Amino acid sequence: MAAREPCKNAVKVRTPSGKELELIPRKVWQLTPSGRKGVKVGLFQDPETGKFFRQKVPDDYPLCG
DNA sequence: GCGATCGA
DNA sequence: TCGATCGC
């Protein structure tokens, strides 16, 4: 069982403070309603403010965290 | 509204 | 316990 792989790849994200940065998500999971495709969501931390935020990550980004 | 997740 | 994430 591959329990909790660390996230390795940076994702281009718009931080709450309005900057585009490449950040490594703390965690990425699938957010998928029944019978729909859903999205992958990453939990990120804005290095400017320390605030956490969630944002879509590309569908090909591996689950991790 | 649904789905999972966790910081606030 | 809620907000916020995204696309359908």
Residue A33 contacts strand B, CB under 7 A: yes
pLDDT in tens, A16-58: 999 999 999 999 999 999 999 999 999 999 999 999 999 999 9
Question: Domains along chain A?
Answer: 11-57 (2.30.30.610)
Residues in contact with A43: Cβ distance below 8 Å, sequence separation at least 6, in sequence order: A25, A26, A27, A28, A52, A53, A54, A65
Mean pLDDT of chain A: 96
Q: A27-33: long-range contacts (C-beta < 8 A, 24 or more apart)?
A: A27/A64, A27/A65, A28/A57, A28/A61, A28/A62, A28/A63, A28/A64, A28/A65, A29/A63, A29/A65, A30/A63
- Position A3 pLDDT exceeds 80: no
CA of A1 to C1' of C7 (A): 31
Chain B bases having any atom below 7 Å from a protein CB: 1-8
CA of A47 to C1' of C8 (A): 32
